[in-house]
Amino acid sequence: MKTAYTADQIRQAEQALMARLPEGTLMQRAASGLASVCADLLGRVYASRVVLLVGSGDNGGDALYAGQRLARRGARVEAVTAGSKTHEAGLRALLDAGGRVLDPSAAGAAIETADLIIDGLVGIGASGALREPYAELAKAVAAARGHVVAVDVPSGVDASTGRVEGAAVRARVTVTMGAYKTGLLVDPGAAYAGRVELVDIGLGAYLPDPDVAALTGADLDVLLPRPRNESDKYRRGVVGVAAGSDLFTGAAVLAVGGALRGGAGMVRYAGRAAPVAQVRSHWPEAVVTQLDAPSIDRVGRVQAWVLGPGLGTDDWAHELAAAVLASDVPVLIDADGLTLVAKDRTLLRRAAPVLITPHAGELSRLIGAGRDAIEAARLDHARRAAAELGVTVLLKGSTTVVAEDSRPVRVNTTGTSWLATGGTGDVLAGLAGALLAQGLSCYDAASCAAYLHGVAGRLAADGAPLAAGDVASALPAAIRAVTSTNS
């Protein structure tokens, strides 16, 4: 599992480690790792042109010492000292190795022609918009043709939240020291970080419980349920799907498809006549119950419910939602189900677990925060919703996050922008519901579903547009990709 930490957590760990080491040891470790990544990017270091953007803090010192190492290998290294002060020992080391300091008036031209730019303007403690001259330098970097490498976190990105307020450096690679920073895993910061390379400087034993975590394929391999020799369709999990309407029949088809492809032993679908006909046509494997009234009495026993995709928001849908939520099994609420809950919060008064899967607009209606505010601070609002509503939250978007009260937020690192198309959320709901029915907690089911959905999206798209049904079809391949070493 990949774990990440806030700036305060990192600083406390660094202070504890530095107290046990000779002065300057951590900076030398960081500079060595930074220089190694830069050399790999350049390929041929000798005669390359490297520009260092040097601020007042330790990141500027890291950049200067990394520049010293590159200069010793024959690179032409030039430093733009933009802060009110400069790390004196680092600057002296750079000059002794043959580097030089640029006049600020020449910074723009040097950045434009550089083979590599190292961003050491601000460190992990910075927040808010970049001040001048940092903001102007960040804008100059945006037009550069060379590789851009950020030290620890791109300048302008909040290390603890991923927020970006104004100009920011957009890096090809971010070399982060000691541990991942939360803002490198969460958009918009993640989009500015590029590829993130972690340099081990010895912080491990000093780090607290993580702020956020990201599952890896190895984690999925452990968490995902597998059928055993004694398994039958009931032991493998029975999921109920209450979705679709006369207007949105496709939502039912896609949610059922996600549940079937997600490994459920049986899928019971309950809905009105129009979506029932479509589900029967597309998925003969599903056990279908046509509802003449908003009741689940005739559906049969299930281990979890998926409620809401395309269901509608009329009185009939409200009564069906109330019936599903009156059950004693976990319920995933999506789409129209979330609209119903936003109008009637009493629906959430239940003892059994609830997983909600909103996008920012739906979460806005649930907690009364603006959509733009949610997009700018996804972690904060997902945590708030989990605490206020007493549910597990899977907040969909450019960075999907999973929040449960008193647990680290999980950030999903898989996916593709091609998933931003109608119906993919219905597939995700069905998949997560299937994992709930197979016995995973809401926290694990949401996290694993987001990961697999992202992998399936990449496989289905393969660099080209996809449809939601393609994602459902790719789910078995996604599961194989993370469980290939096990039968």
Assess whether pLDDT exceeds 90 at residue 234.
Answer: no
Alpha-carbon gap, residue 276 to 270, rounded angstroms: 7
Neighbours of 175 (CB within 10 A): 27
Whether the Cβ atoms of residue 357 and residue 385 lie closer than 8 Å to each other: no
* H-type alpha helices, 43-181: 58-72, 88-96, 107-113, 134-142
- Give the model's pLDDT for residue 233: 74
Rounded to an integer, the average pLDDT of 4-10 is: 96
- Give the model's pLDDT for residue 383: 96
Q: What is the pLDDT of residues 304-359, one digit of tens each?
A: 999 999 999 999 999 999 999 999 999 999 999 999 999 999 999 999 999 999 99
- Give the model's pLDDT for residue 487: 40
Rounded to an integer, the average pLDDT of 250-272 is: 97
Assess whether pLDDT exceeds 60 at residue 272.
Answer: yes
The token pair at 124 is 């992990």
From residue 66, how far is each of 78, 202, 292, 398 by CA, in Å? Answer: 12, 19, 71, 33
Mean residue pLDDT across the chain? 95
Rounded to an integer, the average pLDDT of 475-483 is: 95
For residue 18, count CB atoms less than 10 angstroms from its CB and return exposed for 0-12, middle for 13-18, buried for 19 or more. middle
Residue span(s) of the chain under CATH 3.40.1190.20 come to 217-482
The token pair at 71 is 């200069």
Alpha-carbon gap, residue 29 to 201, rounded angstroms: 6
Alpha-carbon gap, residue 350 to 329, rounded angstroms: 10
The token pair at 75 is 């690179």
Q: b/e map of 89-118 (b: 16 or more CB within 10 Å)?
A: ebbebbbebebeebeeeebbebbeebbbbb
Domain at 217-482: CATH architecture: 3-Layer(aba) Sandwich (3.40)
Whether the Cβ atoms of residue 268 and residue 299 lie closer than 8 Å to each other: yes
- Give the model's pLDDT for residue 468: 96
149: β partners: 118, 173
- Give the model's pLDDT for residue 49: 98
Assess whether pLDDT exceeds 60 at residue 62.
Answer: yes
What's the number of CA atoms in the CB half-sphere (13 Å) around residue 292? 1
5: β partners: 181
- Give the model's pLDDT for residue 443: 98
Q: Taking the mean position of all CA atoms in its chain, how far away is CA 475?
A: 19
Tell me the residue ranges of DSSP E strands in 320-444.
Answer: 331-333, 354-356, 392-395, 401-403, 409-411
Q: What is the pLDDT of residues 391-447, one digit of tens each?
A: 999 999 989 999 999 999 999 999 999 999 999 999 999 999 999 999 999 999 999
Apex 123 CA angle, 122 and 125, nearest 5:
115
Please give the residue that has the higher pLDDT: either 264 or 229.
264
Query: Closest Cα partner for 433 from 280, 170, 252?
Result: 252
Counted residue by residue, the chain has a size of 487
Q: Please identify which residue in the block is written with the tokens 């434009």.
A: 112
Whether the Cβ atoms of residue 425 and residue 309 lie closer than 8 Å to each other: yes
Whether the Cβ atoms of residue 320 and residue 291 lie closer than 8 Å to each other: yes
- Give the model's pLDDT for residue 227: 79
Whether the Cβ atoms of residue 381 and residue 358 lie closer than 8 Å to each other: no
CATH class of 2-211: alpha beta
pTM of the model: 0.91
Rounded to an integer, the average pLDDT of 236-249 is: 95
Q: What is the pLDDT of residues 152-171, one digit of tens each?
A: 999 999 999 999 999 999 99
**Structure letter (DSSP) for residue 130:** P
Assess whether pLDDT exceeds 50 at residue 134.
Answer: yes
- Give the model's pLDDT for residue 232: 64
Q: b/e map of 208-224 (b: 16 or more CB within 10 Å)?
A: eebbbbbbeeebbeebb
Assess whether pLDDT exceeds 90 at residue 181.
Answer: yes
Rounded to an integer, the average pLDDT of 84-94 is: 96
Residue 387 banded pLDDT, cuts 50, 70, 90? very high
- Give the model's pLDDT for residue 105: 86
Query: Closest Cα partner for 140 from 67, 79, 53, 203?
Result: 53
The sign of the torsion formed by the CA atoms of 261, 262, 266, 268 equals negative
Whether the Cβ atoms of residue 235 and residue 261 lie closer than 8 Å to each other: no
Assess whether pLDDT exceeds 80 at residue 151.
Answer: yes
How would you classify the pairing of strands 331-333 and 76-81? Answer: unpaired
- Give the model's pLDDT for residue 486: 46
Residue 230 banded pLDDT, cuts 50, 70, 90? low
Q: What DSSP assignment string belongs to 180-234?
A: EEGGGTSTTHHHHH-EEEEE--S-GGG--S-SEEE--HHHHHHHS----TT--TT
- Give the model's pLDDT for residue 357: 98
Percent of the chain with pLDDT over 90: 92
Radius of gyration (C-alpha) of the chain in whole angstroms: 26
Residue span(s) of the chain under CATH 3.40.50.10260 come to 2-211
Could you give the 3-state DSSP secondary structure of residue 245? coil
Neighbours of 294 (CB within 10 A): 19
